[in-house]
Amino acid sequence: MLASGFVLEFLKGPTLALQEFYLLTGRAMRNVTRQPHYTDDIKLQMDSIGVGSIPIVLLTGFFSGAVMALQMGRALQQYGQTGRTGTVVSIILVRELGPVLTALMVAGRNASGIASELGSMKVTEQIDAMRALGTDPIQKLVTPRMIATGVMLPCLTVIDDFVGMVGGWIIGKLLYDLDALQYWSQTWHALVWSDVVQGLLKPFVYSFVISLIGCFYGLRASGGTQGVGRATTQAMVAASVTILILNLFMGLIFVKYSGN
């Protein structure tokens, strides 16, 4: 009796938080079709989330592709198949590493950034001021961030994939003396439609995780600067973990239904 009461009490917080999160998600989605649209805010966020993330995405893409070619090339060498490096690098990048690494990097940069920005606004009463002055904070703050991330993350993932292939090619060229034409035609032919769909659908889904979790923790912040710091960390951790978990499930679904 006592134990079950304790467990219920323990679960109450997370359950309420989840409920609040669903509410926020629902409202943010509903606002996509509603007036007013804050196009300036969407553009601003696209710039800060999308363009601002390009350097980190270039670095992540290049080094992850390079290190993959390095290890794959060596493994394939044992079977005399170094020539297949391009195929392997391409498939892994487009299906898995590109989406997940880009999403994790952008989560580290923007889920926390969003949480700290909205959190500071919350604790300094700017969110209340917004409501008092005629704007719905979800419409003005959450929806633009959600749309901007939804558009930009798939684009960033494509960039990451491509730069990863370049990184893989440079390593392949230097260490395994791969032929450029062979490498690039392999990376292209290795991909089937389901890979491309998977490679774009995943970042689209993760974009909601990043923007909505960032906004959620930001809007919940309380207790001054310390509260903002806590919200920032929580947002980044929650977004990253959610992305990794979703990544496995989406991978499973694609393996089951696309047959490869």
Q: Which residues are near another protein by CB under 8 A?
A: 121, 124-126, 128-136
Cβ(131)–Cβ(33) under 8 Å? no
Residues listed for the chain: 260
User: In the bound complex, what is the minimum distance in angstroms from residue 92's beta carbon to another protein?
Assistant: 41
| CB of 20 or CB of 125, closer to another protein | 125
| CB of 134 or CB of 259, closer to another protein | 134
| CB of 34 or CB of 189, closer to another protein | 34
| CB of 38 or CB of 63, closer to another protein | 38
User: In the bound complex, what is the minimum distance in angstroms from residue 131's beta carbon to another protein?
Assistant: 6
| CB of 99 or CB of 144, closer to another protein | 144
User: In the bound complex, what is the minimum distance in angstroms from residue 134's beta carbon to another protein?
Assistant: 4
User: In the bound complex, what is the minimum distance in angstroms from residue 208's beta carbon to another protein?
Assistant: 23
User: In the bound complex, what is the minimum distance in angstroms from residue 22's beta carbon to another protein?
Assistant: 17
| CB of 5 or CB of 134, closer to another protein | 134
DSSP states along the chain: -HHHHHHHHHHHHHHHHHHHHHHHHHHHHHGGGSSPP-HHHHHHHIIIIIGGGHHHHHHHHHHHHHHHHHHHHHHHHTTT-GGGHHHHHHHHIIIIIHHHHHHHHHIIIIIHHHHHHHHHHHHTTHHHHHHHTT--HIIIIIHHHHHHHHHHHHHHHHHHHHHHHHHHHHHHHHHH---HHHHHHHHHHT--HHHHHHHHHHHHHHHHHHHHHHHHHHHH--SHHHHHHHHHHHHHHHHHHHHHHHHHHHHHHHHHHH--
User: In the bound complex, what is the minimum distance in angstroms from residue 5's beta carbon to another protein?
Assistant: 17
